Structure 1
Amino acid sequence: MADHPTSLVRYSTDAGAEVAVLTFDHGPLNLFDQAMFDAVAADVADLTARPPRAVLLRAEGKVNSAGVDVKVFEGLTAQEGAEMWRQLFADIAHPIEALPCPVVYAAHGLTLTAAFEISLACDIILAGPKARFGLVETVVGLTPSMGGPQRLAERAGSGRARELVMTGDLYDAETMREWGVVNAVHPDVDAAARSLVERLAAGPTVAHAATKKIVAAWRSGGVAHADEITSEVSGALFESDDLRGAVKSFLENGPGKAIYSGK
């Protein structure tokens, strides 16, 4: 077990693009106690203050996380419970979604409750063949409240979201892929995730950020709202060095030759 519940490492790829890797490393179960929540929130604040070109979330140990340390919930009043959820949205879930770069989650093993909900705030979820997922809050009389049910409904449909939450069952990686929750299953998910993150970091991050804004608009207001903001969001790309350089490279050298630097 590391002295600190998480680590945040930044490095430059061979192409010179900065990637950040946020790793959970908090004992054999990677339980989300208050120290873990605080560490993740601090790391997310660091990423928000200095966004890299892509982010990878992963975990050390046999499991990604066995869930939340139930001591966090003990004795809370309704007001205190509501404030806890508000804070977790404000400090973790929403800032992850708002990062102006691709965010990839790698699940190699058991991924429960808070860790699963955090993965659902990421752009892309990759899983290993032994990964299992669950929102098992029913065992303590709770419902997932860091955004899990609604984000599951977005990816898999409302019926699947209710099934997964109400039963509290565990679901394997392939089932999650079939449902659209997991994007892909890889034998070596850590290597696959790092390769994907480096590939995304080498791409047009400014355009990726615009894609995230358009999708976020659809999530909050449907197709009509997304259409309303697309013209301005996408139009701004024409003044970016990324687009201008890529267009010039395409015309002079053909497709796939551009080097992107914006973020």
Structure 2
Amino acid sequence: MSTSTLGRVVLSKFLGNKSNFKYNQVTKNVRLFSAVADNFEFIKLSKTGEQQNIGLIQLNRPKALNALNNGLMEEVGKALEKLDSDSSVGAIVITGNEKAFAAGADIKEMANNTFAQCVGGNFLESWTKVSSTRKPLIAAVNGYALGGGCELAMMCDIIYAGESAKFGQPEILIGIIPGAGGTQRLIRSVGKSKAMEIVLTGNQVNAQDAEKMGLVSKVFPADKLLGETVKLAEKIASNSQITNAIAKECVNVALESTLKEGLRFEKRMFHACFATKDQKEGMAAFVEKRKAKFTNE
């Protein structure tokens, strides 16, 4: 790990032995986009799944353990915008490599920032594109998901983890706090006490404990993780894209409103489903005991 991630001063504290497992890249049935605009420097963008309807974004700065610099996050934002507007894509997966999902934001890049520069330049603004993605977004986390890497995973709708995954918010150890949702999203997943412990100590949480505390949905062997994540994405993508988007919005509203307001919003969105062709098709298919053929209308 280089000084461009969490810094040599905390290297031994944050990172233990390197992972030695093989990483399943799920290359079968993966087709790369061919457009020139998709020649990214810091990520790999492809489609996968039996129907090629799953967008796959792989963070690709292996020498820096996928440290999240501005260029990488801008590319992630562009890739998500492309996939979000692609009608053939029903769900999106973000992953890293066998050693790291992302070991943190690029500390070397931000070390000399001033308060005025951060405010004037709207620092970290590009990260909001992840949480504003309309389509279901799943993080497949192997290795380290620390600092900004943990925050990026939490911006996704679901987190699947490999058995050796490590989560944490170690910013406190280098004199800052999480700045991309770490103090806000973590407490909604694990509660106040656990969130405080993670944020104030900088300690890492292994995949098994992350699952127990509700940060992670499921844990798999490292070489099975991406395949299982794609299976989940395919299951979700088989639904109506309209209904997926409505359901996702309702769950997110529940995190940001009172129960009364959330219930009111949910009821209105439930009513709205009856204005779609997919509702008519879904219910007709159920009555006729056949598989629904959704048209996303």
Q: What is the TM-score of this pair, normalised by structure 1?
A: 0.89
CA distance in 2, matches of 1:261, 1:83: 44
- Aligned residue for 1:35, secondary structure, equals helix
Deviation at 1:83, TM superposition (A): 5.0
CA distance in 2, matches of 1:156, 1:3: 35
Question: Which of 230, 236, 241 is 2:272 aligned to?
Answer: 236
Find the counterpart in structure 1 of residue 43 from structure 2. 6
For residues 1-263 of structure 1, what are the structure 2 equivalents within 5 Å? 4-11=41-48, 13-14=49-50, 16=51, 18-28=53-63, 29-50=65-86, 52-82=89-119, 86-88=122-124, 90-93=125-128, 95-187=129-221, 188-253=224-289, 257-262=291-296
Q: How big is each residue's C-alpha offset from its partner over 1:153-192, in whole Å with a ceiling of 9 and x where there is no partner?
A: 0010011111101100111000000100001101121111
Q: How big is each residue's C-alpha offset from its partner over 1:112-138, in whole Å with a ceiling of 9 and x where there is no partner?
A: 111210110111100011111111112
Q: How big is each residue's C-alpha offset from its partner over 1:19-40, in whole Å with a ceiling of 9 and x where there is no partner?
A: 1111101123111223222222
Q: Is residue 17–residue 202 contact of structure 1 (8 Å, CA) maintained in 2?
A: no
Unaligned runs of 5+ in 1: none
Q: Is residue 54–residue 102 contact of structure 1 (8 Å, CA) maintained in 2?
A: yes
Q: How big is each residue's C-alpha offset from its partner over 1:130-154, in whole Å with a ceiling of 9 and x where there is no partner?
A: 1111111122211011001111100
What amino acid does structure 2 have at the position aligned with 1:24? L
Deviation at 1:226, TM superposition (A): 1.0
What amino acid does structure 1 have at the position aligned with 2:146? L
Q: Is residue 54–residue 230 contact of structure 2 (8 Å, CA) maintained in 1?
A: no
Deviation at 1:228, TM superposition (A): 2.2
Q: Is residue 45–residue 91 contact of structure 1 (8 Å, CA) maintained in 2?
A: no
Q: Is residue 20–residue 55 contact of structure 1 (8 Å, CA) maintained in 2?
A: yes
Deviation at 1:3, TM superposition (A): 7.0
What amino acid does structure 2 have at the position aligned with 1:79? A
What amino acid does structure 1 have at the position aligned with 2:209? T
CA distance in 2, matches of 1:248, 1:3: 44
- Aligned residue for 1:7, secondary structure, equals strand
* Distance of aligned partners of 1:231 and 1:83 in 2 relative to their CA distance in 1, 3 Å threshold: farther
CA distance in 1, matches of 2:132, 2:280: 25
Equivalences, count: 255
CA distance in 2, matches of 1:42, 1:148: 23
Q: What is the TM-score of this pair, normalised by structure 2?
A: 0.79
- Aligned residue for 1:64, secondary structure, equals strand
Q: Is residue 160–residue 216 contact of structure 2 (8 Å, CA) maintained in 1?
A: yes
Q: How big is each residue's C-alpha offset from its partner over 1:89-111, in whole Å with a ceiling of 9 and x where there is no partner?
A: x4223x33332321110011111
Deviation at 1:236, TM superposition (A): 1.4
Q: Is residue 189–residue 214 contact of structure 2 (8 Å, CA) maintained in 1?
A: yes
Percent identity of equivalent pairs:
23
